[in-house]
Amino acid sequence: MEAKVAPKVAIIVLNWNGWRDTIECLESLQRITYPNYQVIVVDNGSTDNSVEQIKAWARREIEIRSKFFTGSGSKATIVEYTCPEAGGVHGLEGQLEMLPSAQRLVLIRNKENLGFAAGNNVAIRYALLRHYPYIGLLNNDTIVDPDFLRVLIQTLENNPHWMAVLPKILDKDTPTRIWYAGGKLKLWRANAMRLGIKQNDNSSWTGERETGCVTGCCLIARKSWFENVGLLDEDFFFGIEDWAHSWVAKKCGLLFGVNLDAKIYHKCAGSLEEGNPIYAYYYNKNRLLILKKHGSLVEQVLGFSFYAFTRPIKFVGLLLRGRIGMVRAELRAVRDFLAARYGDYDRKMANAHV
């Protein structure tokens, strides 16, 4: 794909107290073969000096050591915003346009932790106002294969009926193991199934296929995806917002797929590890919320009944293993769901404990 005809892609990377993962991700993005992209880092009110560390990386003052690549990339020029809703400053944006994609970075600083959905939405609005034809979401704890974006954009160019496409996502710690190769949403269980999860990667996991559920870990979408579906639902402060987005897209009649020849590597423990009470709180509350918002009457009856029936059994198992904190987290999730304490409440609680 020639640089002069390659459509421009905005790649949004959300950081919250995770600058070490973020700069490794940014370093891998500097190495991609696609010629026309703009990386947009959103710092979500970090308290670990993330912004200064990212700037130091851009000046090449921090050495990156990674098993996925060697050597150092280029210095990057940063344009920094705290309120970019107007689409950025024309003069500053013009300076970036004169640089190669790998040498430019837009940094948006949120004053507080807005959560995954609202934090990304700040940059999605910015990208829409800048008229990027393609907008991508990428977790900060990922490493991208150099050809991933070229393959995904070519896939969308060749499949005009798809509004979004995703790569094969492999476990960063065990690169031969699959984390995502497509998905299916089971709304009556308020759950999603990732295809290929924990299976070894091999020649059967290649090519293009339609999928029923996207993941916010890595998504490349046409701008019309967000214009039709809307932004991420900010009631889902952390987790399951991508499932909800998938469901709304399906109700809008939109199709999306995966190209398993594009690949990235994901730190599967991520910012919150499964088995962590904080993760359990958001996961369980948001499972109930997606049922409430998007489930039919039948799906809600089945889903809420299934959840209520399985909790006592699960709680007994957790208590026998001494995991009382997990039980308390799930009970708080149910309490706050019943009290309709969603996005704004979560934001206030998260920032009160930063």
pLDDT, one tens digit per residue, over 95-122 is 888 999 999 999 999 999 999 999 999 9
Half-sphere exposure of 198 (CA within 13 A, CB side): 1
Contacts of 250 (CB under 8 A, 6+ apart): 185, 212
pLDDT band at 5 (very low <50, low <70, confident <90, very high): confident
Q: Quick one: the chain helix, strand, coil %, rounded to 5? A: 40, 20, 35
How far apart are alpha carbons 248 and 47 in whole angstroms?
A: 34
Q: Indicate if the pLDDT at residue 2 is higher than 50.
A: no
pLDDT tens-digit series, residues 83-92: 765 566 666 7
Average pLDDT over the chain reads 92
Q: What is the DSSP letter of 345?
A: H
Q: Indicate if the pLDDT at residue 144 is higher than 70.
A: yes
Pick from 165, 76, 86: nearest CA to 127: 86
At residue 214, the pLDDT reads 95
At residue 136, the pLDDT reads 98
At residue 268, the pLDDT reads 82
- Asked if residue 140 lies in contact with residue 14, where contact means CB atoms within 8 angstroms, the answer is yes
How far apart are alpha carbons 250 and 284 in whole angstroms?
A: 23
At residue 73, the pLDDT reads 86
How far apart are alpha carbons 354 and 344 in whole angstroms?
A: 16
What percent of the chain has a predicted confidence (pLDDT) above 90? 85
- Asked if residue 127 lies in contact with residue 12, where contact means CB atoms within 8 angstroms, the answer is yes
pLDDT band at 93 (very low <50, low <70, confident <90, very high): confident
At residue 101, the pLDDT reads 96
- Asked if residue 294 lies in contact with residue 247, where contact means CB atoms within 8 angstroms, the answer is yes
Greatest alpha-carbon pair distance for the chain in Å reads 62
pLDDT tens-digit series, residues 174-187: 999 999 999 999 88
Using DSSP bridges, classify how beta strands 77-81 and 104-110 pair: parallel, antiparallel or unpaired: parallel
Beta bridge partners of 39: 11, 105
pLDDT band at 131 (very low <50, low <70, confident <90, very high): very high
At residue 187, the pLDDT reads 87
- Asked if residue 50 lies in contact with residue 108, where contact means CB atoms within 8 angstroms, the answer is no
How far apart are alpha carbons 161 and 254 in whole angstroms?
A: 8
At residue 23, the pLDDT reads 97
Where exactly does CATH 3.90.550.10 map onto the chain? Answer: 9-266
pLDDT tens-digit series, residues 50-85: 999 999 999 999 989 899 998 888 999 999 998 765
At residue 191, the pLDDT reads 86
At residue 84, the pLDDT reads 65
At residue 354, the pLDDT reads 60
- Asked if residue 230 lies in contact with residue 111, where contact means CB atoms within 8 angstroms, the answer is no
At residue 271, the pLDDT reads 46
| Fold exhibited by the domain 9-266 | Spore Coat Polysaccharide Biosynthesis Protein SpsA; Chain A (3.90.550)
Q: Indicate if the pLDDT at residue 270 is higher than 80.
A: no
Place of tokens 């916010």: 216
Q: Indicate if the pLDDT at residue 335 is higher than 60.
A: yes
Instruction: Give the predicted TM-score (pTM) of the model.
Output: 0.94
pLDDT band at 290 (very low <50, low <70, confident <90, very high): very high
Q: Which two tokens stand for residue 109?
A: 């600083």
Pick from 167, 177, 120, 123: nearest CA to 146: 167
